[in-house]
Amino acid sequence: MEYLPMGGSIKTIEESLKLAYGEDSELIKDKRIAAVQALSGTGACRLFADFQKRFLPDSQIYIPTPTWSNHHNIWRDAQVPQKSFTYYHPESRGLDFSGLMNDIKNAPDGSFFLLHACAHNPTGVDPTEEQWREISHLFKVKKHFPFFDMAYQGFASGDPERDAKAIRIFLEDGHQIGCAQSYAKNMGLYGQRVGCLSILCEDEMQAVAVKSQLQQIARPMYSNPPVHGALVVSIILSDPELKSLWLKEVKGMADRIIGMRTALKENLEKLGSPLSWEHITNQIGMFCYSGMTPEQVDRLTNEFHIYMTRNGRISMAGVTTGNVEYLANAIHEVTKSK
């Protein structure tokens, strides 16, 4: 239980970079990535926000509407001004792609954007591969800086490679990027606070300087990151047998959630719901942005003892073969008279 260095476990960082940037990434070989172990995804975002404030004090961050509520707290406490950009389309319960592209185009050149790499929280709505390519191209034209929060790698499709596709597209297009990774969900290490912050730099020399500055920010904040969870991550990812078992289990878990989405949608349709529930299976990842109103959510809680956030976000991880029928009946009951 001795201390890790300020930047954390070298092994954990190495394995994290392979997951995000690709097993055989030239960028890793060329040592162009500055990376430190962070206190899960939140800690990685906060380190980056403080880094942004320190070296570009007049910059701001564009955050999608909606986003995980803690994103706002993180950049606010780092004293970085926030702007929002269009993301979710409430009517279709899908992506407002034209609104998103307009906001990217109208932002001042060289702006910072926070992007969810996959399994957008809270909506479960992700751009398609083709849309990501268009977004990346426009970022290039506008010289924007993309910062990816990748809290759910493996949790969306069941394949960590596929879930890193957005990042890989931006790398192919020659962007410098930032990336926050978390092992809370894909390894179940919520309480261990294991994550990684990486920033792709121009060359090895710049990467050394950036890493040094990230460590300077970490030192007075929490000194160094915890060791136990980092050992769990590095042991699993560096052992081919354990890693393939982990990949199999991640796929099993993601497939179960995808199956529960189908079951919930089919049960609602069977009940003769007048509403469209296509979005349940169109969305991806841990959450389903159901489109229910706060009043309908209150009825679910008070009458059926079903609990979710008041914005109608269902945690699909809590839906099982044992309760999906009950959940569908309750949702039907509170939405049928809409």
Q: Angle between the 40-55 and 204-222 helix axes, to the nearest 10 degrees? A: 110
Instruction: Tell me whether residue 246 is one of the annotated catalytic residues.
Output: no
E strand intervals along 229-312: 287-289
3-state secondary structure of 293: coil
Find the catalytic residue in 50, 68, 126, 277: 68
Up-side HSE of residue 270: CA atoms within 13 Å toward CB? Answer: 11
Find the catalytic residue in 96, 103, 149, 163: 149
CA distance 99 to 187: 35
Instruction: Tell me whether residue 83 is one of the annotated catalytic residues.
Output: no
Taking every pair of C-alpha atoms in the chain, what is the biggest distance, in angstroms?
63
Judged on CB neighbours under 10 Å (0-12, 13-18, 19+), 130 is: exposed
CA 257 to chain centre: 17
Q: Cα–Cα distances in Å, from 275 out to 70, 88, 125, 270? A: 32, 19, 19, 12
Q: Cα–Cα distances in Å, from 258 out to 19, 120, 158, 247, 312? A: 22, 15, 9, 16, 19
Place of tokens 């001004």: 81
The answer to whether 84 and 63 are in contact (CB under 8 A) is yes
Place of tokens 């909606």: 66
CA distance 109 to 70: 26
Instruction: Tell me whether residue 265 is one of the annotated catalytic residues.
Output: no
Find the catalytic residue in 50, 53, 126, 185: 185
Catalytic residues: 68, 149, 185
